[in-house]
Amino acid sequence: MSETTKINEPATHDPAGAPAVTGERAEWLEALAKQRHFLRFTTRDLTDEQAGLRTTAGELCLGGLIKHVTSAERNWAQFIVDGPWIEDFSAMTEEDWQRRAEEFRMLPGETLAGVLADYAEAARRTDELIAGLPDLDATQPLPKAPWFESGARWSVRRVLMHLIAETAQHAGHADIIRESLDGAKSMG
């Protein structure tokens, strides 16, 4: 532990040797890392085929959930920097919705290792972005969508809260899918 890190202050360390992120940022990143771990953990010891199986009545599979969370994390990181990645969800075409639906499936040629590596890269970039931002209170306008309040803006802090909640929600979905697949559980 460095001399500047307080006992009760969580810290994340960059493996390249950059200074530790401390305080509120470390707490946000630690919470997000924990939920990422639970999501990834559901795929332990699986084959590519198993990662692509739908084991419930829904459309979801483990590899697809990780692909979706990867895409969501990239989109929200882009939002923090540039604003909405799409202006109006109601303007999406059928082809746009089909591409989005493919996020939830393992497609031919995709591997679990590749999906997990892509997720790790997105997570690394998000962590670096959050560590380097000058202000967690900076806001951007939300895209037009029926699930967002019209004219609302989200701060970086609000985006982090959303990413943690979405990752946790999908980790729960993944746990159910994995238990349905072979009885393995994330906890218990």
What are the pLDDT digits (tens) for 131-177? 999 999 999 999 988 888 999 999 999 999 999 999 999 999 999 99
Per-residue confidence at 15, pLDDT binned at 50, 70, 90?
Answer: very low
pLDDT, residue 161, reads 98
Provide the token pair at 138: 């900076």
pLDDT surpasses 60 at 3 = no
The Cα–Cα gap between 181 and 53 comes to 8
Provide the whole-model pTM: 0.86
Place of tokens 């939830």: 104
- Classify residue 171 by burial, with Cβ atoms within 10 Å: 0-12, 13-18, 19+: buried
Percent with pLDDT over 90 in the chain: 70
pLDDT score, position 14: 47
